[in-house]
Amino acid sequence: MTTQTLPQLERREPLWRRLPVLSHLRNSVGLQRGMLIAGLVLTAIFLLMALLAPLVAPYGFSQISDASGDFPTQDPPSAQHIWGTTVGGFDVFSRVVWGAQTAVLVIVVAVALSIFAGVALGLASGYIGGWLDRVLVVVADAVYAFPSLLVAIVMSIVISHGQSSLWGGILAAAISITVVFIPQYFRVVRAEAIRLKAEPFVESAKVLGASSWRIMARHIFRNATRSIPLIFTLNASEAILTLAGLGFLGFGIEPTSAAEWGFDLNKAISDVTAGIWWTGVFPGLAIVLTVLGLTLVGESMNDLADSRLRTRGRSRKQRTTTARTSDSVAPAAHAVPGVAAGAEASTGQEGGQA
């Protein structure tokens, strides 16, 4: 009897139901569902634009002439250049499309690096503890408290002295952003690791003779990283803003090696004074819509993961049961009350834009 029922108990739901985004979509209703879907659509457009840039863009990102001669400069939107051209003769539409590709590359590299480093440091710090933990916490708090854009600026000076080719620029931007984000992953994973360290299953693993390495890599890692997808989407949007901020300050990637929205906006500032709006508005809108899409996805997932914030279908929640909400009321689980009081390490969503 038991031998027959056991396999049934262990069977999981099919994979497609457990995928983060899809399962969230099934659980959502009403406004929340609308926000999630809107976010997913915007994000999908962004990704498609990045992926299909060579097909979508009519010209190259640094192309200033074609068979019929040089492109006009600062030309208003027309049939040939639907979003106009810049002062350097670049086609604005093409640069916006290629800019998506640059943004995706930077986000992927930056978030992958920071998850890797942040999770590793957080696990080690939380599980091993001791002086290593103290030092890492103090450094992470100091970096976390500092304006993230300035951290990124300092890092990009260190890495490339501010000059950049395509991959050099992408790597510099990505690593600069990584340094900003490591503390966020670090804090979440560390707090979880500390909590899990006291769990019976870790103790049993110890009793069975598992090495610290195995406990960290298997038992704690699997359980401590559940909230990572949430931080991931929120960080992806922050990464775009940081990249644009760097580019705006002239730390971007050279216009001839890749298209970058922040850099284009910097060039557009002087155009605006002369009433030339198309060089700035389109890259700016691209940033806003991309960040909006990613934020909507992240927010919705965050709210859905927190039963207190989830909007339910028909049954209205009673006023008395809504009591506390998670944002900002919770001090970071490990925060020394002084050093980082009240920081919501879990999502960093208020921490916002550089």
Partner 1 sequence: MTALTETPPEAAGVPAPAAKRKGGGLATYLIIRFLLIFPTILILVTLVFFLMRITGDPITAALGGRLPADQLAQRIHEAGYDRPILVQYFQYLGQIFTGNFGRTISDNRAVTEMLATFGSATLELAINAVVVALIIGIPLGMIAAHRRDKTPDAVLRIFAILSYATPVFFAGLLLKLVFSVWLGWLPVAGRASTSTEIALTSLAQPTGIYWLDALRSGNMSAFWDVESHAILPALALGLLTAGVFLRLVRTNLIGTLGRDYVEAGRSRGVSEFRLVTRHAYKPALIPIITVMGLQIALLLGGAVLTETTFEWKGLGFQLAQYLTARDFVAVQGIVVLLAVIVAVTNFIVDVVAALIDPRVRY
Pick out residues in 155-174 that bind partner 1 (CB under 8 A): 155, 157-158, 161-162
Residue 349 Cβ, how far from partner 1 at the closest point, in Å? 8
- Which member of 78, 204, 256, 322 binds partner 1 (CB under 8 A)? 322
Applying CB under 8 A, which of residues 19, 31, 44, 132 lies at the interface with partner 1? Answer: 31
Residue 354 interacts with partner 1 (CB under 8 A)?
A: yes
Phi, psi of 280 (to 5 degrees): -100, -40
> Between residue 273 and residue 312, which ones bind partner 1 under the rule CB under 8 A?
273-275, 277, 280-281, 284, 287-289, 291-292, 295-296, 299, 308, 311
Considering only the stretches 67-75, 88-96, 109-117, 321-329, report the one whose residues sit in contact with partner 1 under the rule CB under 8 A. 321-329
Strand runs (DSSP E) across the chain, as ranges? 65-66, 69-70
What single string gives the DSSP state of each residue in 134-181?
Answer: HHHHHHHHHHHHS-HHHHHHHHHHHHHTT---HHHHHHHHHHHHHHHH
Instruction: Name the amino acid, one letter, at 199.
Output: E
CA dihedral 46, 48, 50, 55 (to 10 degrees): -140
Comparing CB distances to partner 1, the nearer of 85 and 237 is 237
Question: Among 96, 205, 268, 304, which residue sits at the site for partner 1 (rule: CB under 8 A)?
Answer: 268
> What binding mask, one character per residue, do residues 325-344 give for partner 1 by CB under 8 A, x or -?
xxxxxxxxxxxxxxx-xxxx
Phi, psi of 38 (to 5 degrees): -55, -45
- Judged by CB under 8 A, the chain residues 96 through 135 that form the site for partner 1 are 133-134
Residue 239 C-beta: closest distance to partner 1, Å = 13
CB 27: neighbour CB atoms within 10 A?
15
Which region holds residue 211: left if phi is over 0, alpha if psi is between -120 and 50, else beta? beta
Interaction between residue 178 and partner 1 (CB under 8 A): no
Q: Is 139 in the site for partner 1 (CB under 8 A)?
A: yes
Task: Return the number of other C-beta atoms located less than 10 Å from residue 132's C-beta.
Answer: 12
> Does position 41 bind partner 1 by CB under 8 A?
no
> Shortest approach of partner 1 to residue 222 CB, angstroms?
18
Helix and strand tally (H, E) in the chain?
15, 2
Contacts to partner 1 from residues 226-245, by CB under 8 A: 227, 237, 241, 244-245
Per CB under 8 A, does 141 bind partner 1? yes
What three-state secondary structure class fits 12? coil
